[in-house]
Amino acid sequence: MTEEISYDIQAIQEKWLPIWDELRPFASGNPDDSRPKKYVLDMFPYPSGDLHMGHAEAYALGDVISRYWVQKGFNVMHPIGWDSFGLPAENAAIKRGLDPKGWTYDNIAQQRSSMRRYACSFDWDRVLVTSDPIYYRWNQWLFLQFYKKGLAYRKNSNVNWCPSCQTVLANEQVVQGLCERCDSVVTKKALTQWYFKVTDYADRLLDDLDTLEGNWPSKVLQMQRNWIGRSQGADVEFLIEGRQEPVTVFTTRPDTLFGATFMVVAADSSLAAELAQKADSETKAAFDAYLEKVKQSNDIERLATDRPKTGVFLGAYAINPVNDERLPIWASDYVLADYGHGAIMAVPAHDQRDFDFAKAMNLPVRMVVDTGEGDPAVTGQPTTGDGVLTNSGELNGLHKGEAIARMIELLASRGKGKAAKNFRLRDWLISRQRYWGTPIPIIHCANCGEVPVPEDQLPIELPSAEGLDLAPKGKSPLGGATDWLNVPCPNCGAPAQRDSDTMDTFVDSSWYFLRYLSPNSTTEAFPVEAAKEWAPVDQYVGGVTHAILHLLYARFFTKVLHDLGFVDFEEPFTRLLNQGMVLMNGSAMSKSRGNLVKLSDQLDEHGVDAIRLTMAFAGPPEDDIDWADVSPAGSAKFLARAWRIAKDVTSAPGVNVVAGNAELRKATHTFLRDFAPSIESFKFNVGVAKIMELVNALRKAIDGSVGGADPAVREGAEVVAKALSLFAPYTAEEMWSMLGHEPGVALAGLQEADSSLLVESSTVAVIQVDGKLRDKLEVSLEISEDELRELALSSENTKRAIGDRQIANVIVRAPKLVNIATK
RNA sequence: GCCCCCAUAGCCCAAUGGCAGAGGCGGGCGACUUAAAAUCGCUACAGUGUGGGUUCGAGUCCCACUGGGGGCACCA
């Protein structure tokens, strides 16, 4: 009496985990390893709790890619770490009354254990945690390199301020005028803050996107281009009556200079304040009142596009450099202080905003480009398109493009202007007034000013949180750690203070992919020689949420490191895959929405493999997965079906497959031909479907006349086990073992298709009449066009379809198709 | 307002310009069973959002529209 064994995924999981721990199939650091190198990287998680469904998708897909290249015979580096500094840790710690450190490291331990259970193919010798001093020490070192190069600097300016988080935000962290983290309305505050000079790299960050075309999602490239936002135009100098220095304005339309009828300066700019200062007391009072109102308005109000134009006349005049006209100077909040020069020439006839302002303030509108749509002064519609210059002196008769070039020449020859470009991108504000981050390695000395901490004194470790008030109050909590704060100046020895701000956590993630090369090194940030071998990252996998911020900053760091001679490449991530989100019933999962699906529950219920398989099979990886639409139970059912195939194989390992059933062998080798391309083009769902197809064929063969003893059945079952190991490592390993092999199906390799098995002797030709299918004919592969044409025209079905119509044309694509077009 | 992406069966999704269906979910029928579950087998269901165009031939290319999603948004 034989006992029927059934598929028990939980037992299989328990069985293989310790064996894999021993086997370490994904270790990449052996110096004798002669396999070609490949670097596959998953975006590292934030340790905010245990892994969730989103992680499960991301790591399932990253694992398919990583395991695929291992199977292909590559030495794949697939490391993992934790992006463990940042506000959420701090806020959670404050809320629970815990040290952010304890909270963070508990979560890391939890996630690490979950990743092991989830069978992520990580190289556990390459692990980093950004809140470890051994890591953030190199943030500080990099900061000092940037500082030496003039790429890290401090300035006082109006910064984005989150009144709830009580910290400054980078432009990139302000979404629709709201704080990215807490959705509070962001306000402005004048503060002295540290910046990285990312604008120095704006051109390269934009232009080099072209080199990623085809390897990054076009959506991400577009978002990056959009964000950098380069505008080409000209800087034009205007003299100001009663002022020594001319004022420069940036314009993309120098061709319309003759149509300028006023000038506008940003209300919150120093120029506006200066001009108001010189004006009569009434004007000054009006300006002060206006400025007060502007300062009180927040980003939400500023961003409203249908907002009426407001402003005050400053009592001053600018002189148009091409016709010496006097242009009244106004202050308004529709001009931004930190873009261009904070001042514009207003051409209401050809700019909607200037037109709206002119209308509101009753200022003149003068058409200088005739677009054929009528005079804006009459129609009330500014015209922004191409046309012929008019009212523009020597530019008259030229088209827009010619006129722009001509005007730039003209201005340049008179020393009144030059071609110029501007970027939407601003410098990266990196200071944060929070505790849980990398301390900025600068000491402020009354005598010496800013003094960089000598490199041999790094790291500047965070003081213990004990006794510090971490609650946000607008000043860094580190300022309260007086023992830590007060140090002698490294230069002169006088009493001095450490900088008490910490770095934006995006600094941590801007170079971590290099740190994996030597995550525990105490002598260097990363090994320059090893970076030449492994980097850049061949395949990066992560969420589209990081399409702008993280990727832009990592690209910036890479270019700086390139210029400093540390790396020999300029782009960090050669290929990028953005996976979608996991939704539930159409929306993002959240506790408050009540649609949270717990990953651990899913794993308990269906098993790791079924969840991983479901993630891969749900659809194209970049699409969102609605968990309500997919069937982890179905995946589990399929895995059991695959498992039973292995159980039903009765031939011995190593049996000669050549004698096996030809039809089944053909199915197996067709699979081998088609599987790899679907994985390499990220069509994981299609790859899984093909495995299902092969399993179906095997089932049919075993239950039918072929039988489980046929060598072709073994061949097919082994191929299934190996292919399935990308998606369902436990089931695959169990199958591999049942098939009589030693553990390590992940390293077994997937053979190439035997093309001799795929040769067809005949094929089915499709006969169409006027594009519609009318007949199918079995024909030889070598059939000539003429033969096939004859066969098609003599077919009864074809004749019937043609009826009494006349044949106009016969298209023959031997041996596959004939299309008969009738009149 | 500007830019980008998407639309195939009840549902999730396949389909080098050449037979609309690979795979799955759900449904129906059958085999096995005393019965059920599990398993195995069979099966129905759309002419590809709408309207034009290019082509011998369009789900696929082009144009417009509708619907959905995303990015940017007073950036001169």
Q: Would you say residue A1 has pLDDT above 50?
A: no
Chain B: positions less than 7 Å from a protein CB are: 1, 3-5, 11-16, 18-20, 22-26, 38-41, 56-58, 70-76
Radius of gyration of chain A (CA): 34
Nearest nucleotide by C1' position to the A808 CA atom: B56
Q: Is the CB of A748 under 7 A from strand B?
A: no
- Give strand pairing partners of A129: A82
Peptide bond into A536 cis (omega under 30): yes
Q: Please state, for a pLDDT cut of 70, what percent of chain A lies above it.
A: 98
From the CA of A382 to the C1' of B1: give the distance in Å: 14
Average pLDDT of A446-462? 95
Of residues 336 to 375 in chain A, which lie within 7 A of strand B by their beta carbon? 336, 339-344, 351, 353, 356
Q: Is the CB of A252 under 7 A from strand B?
A: yes
Q: Is the CB of A817 under 7 A from strand B?
A: yes
From the CA of A544 to the C1' of B70: give the distance in Å: 10
Q: Is A771 left (phi over 0), alpha (psi -120 to 50) or beta?
A: left
Of residues 290 to 309 in chain A, which lie within 7 A of strand B by their beta carbon? 302-303, 305, 307, 309
**Nearest-CA residue to the C1' of B15?**
A686
Nearest nucleotide by C1' position to the A223 CA atom: B71
From the CA of A437 to the C1' of B14: give the distance in Å: 48
Identify the CA nearest to A745 among candidates A17, A15, A18, A25: A25
Chain segment A250-301, per-residue pLDDT in tens: 999 999 999 999 999 999 899 999 999 999 999 999 999 999 888 777 655 6
Q: Is the CB of A634 under 7 A from strand B?
A: yes
Identify the CA nearest to A347 among candidates A432, A458, A262: A262
**Nearest-CA residue to the C1' of B40?**
A703
Q: Is residue A108 within a helix (H) or strand (E), and if so which, with residue range?
A: helix A100-117
Res A305: pLDDT: 58
Lowest mean pLDDT among A248-262, A327-341, A545-559, A798-812: A798-812
Identify the CA nearest to A453 among candidates A508, A155, A461: A461
From the CA of A808 to the C1' of B53: give the distance in Å: 22
Chain segment A696-710, per-residue pLDDT in tens: 999 999 999 899 999
Q: Is the CB of A419 under 7 A from strand B?
A: no
Average pLDDT of A318-326? 96
Compute the distance between CA of residue A497 and CA of residue A257 in angstroms, rounded to an integer. Answer: 52
Q: Would you say residue A671 has pLDDT above 90?
A: yes
Stated length of chain A: 823
Chain segment A30-45, per-residue pLDDT in tens: 999 999 999 999 999 9
Q: Is the CB of A450 under 7 A from strand B?
A: no
Chain segment A67-119, per-residue pLDDT in tens: 999 999 999 999 999 999 998 888 888 888 888 999 999 999 999 999 999 99
